[in-house]
Amino acid sequence: MNDILLLKPGELFLKGLNKRFFEEKLMNNLRRRLKHVGRYEVSCRQSTFYVEARDDESDLDDALEAAKQVFGFATVTRAAACEKDKDVIAQKAIEYLRDDMRSVSTFKVETKRGDKRFPLTSIELSQYVGGLLAEAYPNARAEMHDPELTVHLEVREMAAYVHAKPQPGAGGMPVGSNGSAVTLLSGGIDSPVSTYLIAKRGVRLVPVHFFSFPYTSELAKEKVISLAKLLEPYTGRMTLQIVPFTHIQEEIRRLCPEEYFTLIMRRFMMRIAEDIAKHNDCKAIVTGENLGQVASQTMEAMASTQSVIDLPVLQPLVGMDKTDIIAHARKIGTFETSILPYEDCCTVFTPRHPKTRPTVAEVAEAESVMDIDGLVQEAIAGIERIKIGYEC
């Protein structure tokens, strides 16, 4: 038998009667992700997902790396499959784990017996295989409490499997299992991380970027497209909506008090995002706001920007330290792109002394001189849509 990948879901075990729905979402997401790297057979039995290469050109290591980016899996493991016979299992463990066993001084064997027809109990099989491993590798002794290596045996419906060192999966829930949302994607550090974290909760995302050419350059737009492409392995396919925002910002500068520039700008963003959400069956708006990080992210400021919409606003970063956000950005590979020196529209026309504790009524009065509906509809009519991840 050939090597195989064993993928174990995490939170899906808590879903009870709805578990099948979540498993089907996870299966579809996994198959779509693996299309990028080769030809694989994917199946699910006893709440474990199996991935097998269909041809010699399809590398299981490539499949493993791809599977680690699919939300919903707690662990991803490359394993050796063999017949469900105690001696065959022991010999497979001796051969397959040769390098691991030679590099450690202590080990233990853990067995999961999904097939209850197998004649040995889990403890009996662990003891049997552990004894033969100790004979084959006298440098390693059995240690039950704190071993350097844990040898995993699984006796399942179709075969037995031998492996060591399961790798952590992406965790979370399958993308698409918790509905859809619009995510505001700037060129900074925060918004890609907030997008990633909400996708991890099973939300399919429609990214929206506000673009103010010529005040922001084409390079700034390309930067955001690059960020969306870096997120796509986790989020799945997306259509990036690039909203022309120049006229709105110029009108805000021309007509409104300077201290309210950023707040009014963000209120326009929320209105446009809600319209996009309604046309894409999205039930929420995601932002990268972090409480107290800048003047527009006080409680009062956030209340004033959110008061113009009815949809809930999800803020996964609201209580995080900047160091935590940067650590996440490095982990998912967006940090180096986010710090490229191309400004986004939020840095255009920044007020010298922004209002930090506004009331909703004050901001509404400040923007009342504008043709709000007309400007919103003009921006929506000019949206550029770019498909991300549609090559398959």
Residue 109 to residue 152: CA distance in whole angstroms: 6
Closest CA to 38 of 58, 14, 64: 58
* Domain identity same for 326 and 243: yes
* Domain identity same for 74 and 192: no
Measured distance between the N- and C-terminal CA atoms of the chain, rounded to whole angstroms: 30
CATH number for the domain spanning 56: value is: 3.30.2130.30
Q: Quick check: 261 and 352 in contact, CB under 8 A?
A: no
Q: Give the phi and the psi of residue 327 in degrees, each rounded to 5.
A: -60, -40
Among 143, 168, 193, the domain-final residue is: 168
The residues, ordered by sequence, that sit 6+ positions from 356 with a Cβ below 8 Å of its Cβ are 295, 298, 300, 301
Residue 153 to residue 25: CA distance in whole angstroms: 28
Q: Is residue 267 part of a domain?
A: yes
Provide DSSP, 167-186: EE---SB-TTTT-EEEEE--
Q: Is residue 294 part of a domain?
A: yes
Q: Quick check: 153 and 126 in contact, CB under 8 A?
A: yes
Among 144, 168, 192, the domain-final residue is: 168
Q: Is the bond leading into 214 cis (omega within 30 degrees of zero)?
A: yes
CATH number for the domain spanning 298: value is: 3.40.50.620
Q: Where are the beta strands (DSSP E) in 31-95?
A: 40-45, 48-53, 73-82
Q: Is residue 306 part of a domain?
A: yes
pTM of the full predicted structure? 0.88
Q: Is residue 368 part of a domain?
A: yes
Place of tokens 């949206």: 383
Amino acid present at 144: M
pLDDT value at residue 392 = 35
Residue 105 to residue 319: CA distance in whole angstroms: 44
Residue 7 to residue 341: CA distance in whole angstroms: 40
Handedness of CA 347, 353, 359, 362 (dihedral sign): negative
Residue 165 to residue 99: CA distance in whole angstroms: 13
Give the side-chain half-sphere CA count within 13 A for 238. 31
Q: Give the phi and the psi of residue 138 in degrees, each rounded to 5.
A: -65, -15
Residue 148 to residue 235: CA distance in whole angstroms: 35
Residue 234 to residue 199: CA distance in whole angstroms: 7
* Domain identity same for 210 and 327: yes
* Domain identity same for 211 and 356: yes
Cα 155 to Cα 77, 95, 97, 130, 168, distances in angstroms: 15, 18, 17, 16, 21
Q: Is residue 175 part of a domain?
A: no
Among 168, 196, 224, the domain-final residue is: 168
Closest CA to 77 of 58, 96, 105: 96
pLDDT value at residue 355 = 80
* Domain identity same for 86 and 212: no
Quote the domain boundaries for residue 124: 3-168
Q: For the chain, how many structural domains are there in total? A: 2
Residue 224 to residue 209: CA distance in whole angstroms: 8
* Domain identity same for 336 and 372: yes
* Domain identity same for 235 and 95: no
Q: Is residue 174 part of a domain?
A: no
Q: Is residue 381 part of a domain?
A: yes
* Domain identity same for 144 and 212: no
* Domain identity same for 199 and 263: yes
Q: Is residue 173 part of a domain?
A: no
Residue 343 to residue 221: CA distance in whole angstroms: 10
* Domain identity same for 259 and 337: yes
Per-residue pLDDT of the chain (392 residues; tens, 9 = 90+): 579 999 999 887 666 667 888 889 999 999 999 998 999 999 988 788 999 999 888 999 999 999 999 999 999 999 999 999 999 999 999 999 999 999 999 999 999 998 999 999 999 999 999 999 999 999 999 999 999 999 999 998 889 999 998 899 999 999 999 999 999 999 899 999 999 999 999 999 999 999 998 888 899 999 999 999 999 999 999 999 999 999 999 999 999 999 999 999 999 999 999 999 999 999 999 999 998 777 778 899 999 999 999 999 999 999 999 999 999 999 999 999 999 987 665 566 677 778 888 899 999 999 999 999 999 999 999 999 999 985 43
Which phi-psi region, left, alpha or beta, contains residue 352 (left: φ > 0; alpha: ψ -120 to 50)? alpha
* Domain identity same for 196 and 333: yes
Judging by DSSP bridges, how do beta strands 160-164 and 167-168 pair with one another? unpaired
* Domain identity same for 241 and 109: no
Q: Which one-letter DSSP state was computed for residue 249? A: H
